[in-house]
Amino acid sequence: MGKTTGFMEYERQSQRERDPSERTKDWVDYTAPMTEDEIKKQGARCMDCGVPTCHTGTEINGSTTGCPVNHLIPEWNDLVYRGQWKAALEKEHEKNNFPEFTGIACPAPCEGACVLGINESPVAIRTVERSIIERGFEEGWVKPEPPSKRTGKKIAVVGSGPAGMAAAAQLNKAGHWVTVYERHDRVGGLLTYGIPEMKLSYEIVERRVKILEAEGIEFVTNTEVGKDVTEEQLRADFDSVILCGGSTVHRNIPAEGRELKGIHYAMDFLHQNTKSLLDSNHEDGNYISAKDKDVIVIGGGDTGTDCLATSVRHNCKSLTQFDIYDKKLSARDDEDNPWPQWPIVHRVEYGHKEAAAVLGDDPRAYAVMTKKFVGDENGHVKEVHTVNVKLRYENGKKIRDEIPGTEKVWPADLVLLAIGFKGPEQDLIKQLGVETTERSTVKAEYGKYTTNVEGVFAAGDVRRGQSLIVWAINEGREAARECDRYLMGTTELP
Give per-residue burial for 434-450: e unless 16+ CB within 10 Å, then b. bebeeebbbbbeeeebb
Question: Cα–Cα distance between 245 and 228 in angstroms, integer?
Answer: 15
| 367 and 289 within one domain | yes
Q: Residue 1 pLDDT > 70, yes or no?
A: no
What CATH number did the domain enclosing 75 receive? Answer: 1.10.1060.10
Nearest 5°: the CA angle 165, 169, 171 is 115
Question: Cα–Cα distance between 219 and 86 in angstroms, integer?
Answer: 29
Is residue 147 domain-resident?
no
Write down the mean pLDDT value for the chain: 96
What is the pLDDT, as a whole number, of residue 334?
87
Q: Are 362 and 407 in contact (CB under 8 A)?
A: no
| 275 and 207 within one domain | no
Is residue 493 domain-resident?
no
Is residue 214 domain-resident?
yes
| 415 and 278 within one domain | yes
What CATH number did the domain enclosing 276 receive? Answer: 3.50.50.60
Q: 160-218, pLDDT tens digit by residue?
A: 999 999 999 999 999 999 999 999 999 999 999 999 999 999 999 999 999 999 999 99
Question: Cα–Cα distance between 294 and 296 in angstroms, integer?
Answer: 7
Is residue 240 domain-resident?
yes
Phi, psi of 253 (to 5 degrees): -115, 110
Is residue 474 domain-resident?
yes
User: DSSP label at 116?
Assistant: G
Q: Residue 2 pLDDT > 80, yes or no?
A: no
Q: 430-448, pLDDT tens digit by residue?
A: 999 999 999 999 999 999 9
| 388 and 432 within one domain | no
Amino acid at 402: E
Residue 252 backbone zone (phi > 0: left; psi -120 to 50: alpha; other: beta): beta
| 163 and 181 within one domain | yes
What is the pLDDT, as a whole number, of residue 62?
86
What is the count of structural domains for the chain? 3
Q: Kindly provide the residue ranges of all beta strands, DSSP E only, lying in 24-170, ordered along the sequence.
A: 31-32, 58-60, 63-65, 154-158
What is the pLDDT, as a whole number, of residue 435?
98
Cβ neighbours of residue 421 under 8 Å, at least 6 residues apart?
247, 248, 249, 250, 251, 461, 465, 466
| 367 and 285 within one domain | yes
| 350 and 284 within one domain | yes
Q: 21-62, pLDDT tens digit by residue?
A: 999 999 999 999 999 999 999 999 998 788 899 999 999 988
Question: Cα–Cα distance between 97 and 217 in angstroms, integer?
Answer: 14
Which pTM value belongs to this model?
0.96
Is residue 132 domain-resident?
yes
Cβ neighbours of residue 207 under 8 Å, at least 6 residues apart?
100, 137
| 204 and 242 within one domain | yes
| 167 and 123 within one domain | no
- Cα 233 to Cα 227, 239, 486: the distances in Å are 11, 11, 21
- Domain coverage including residue 13: 6-139
| 385 and 439 within one domain | no
Q: Mean of the pLDDT values across residues 271-286? A: 98
Within a 10 A sphere around the Cβ of 287, how many other Cβ atoms? Answer: 21
| 446 and 357 within one domain | no
User: DSSP label at 311?
Assistant: H
What is the pLDDT, as a whole number, of residue 278?
98
| 276 and 402 within one domain | yes
What is the pLDDT, as a whole number, of residue 61?
86
Is residue 443 domain-resident?
yes
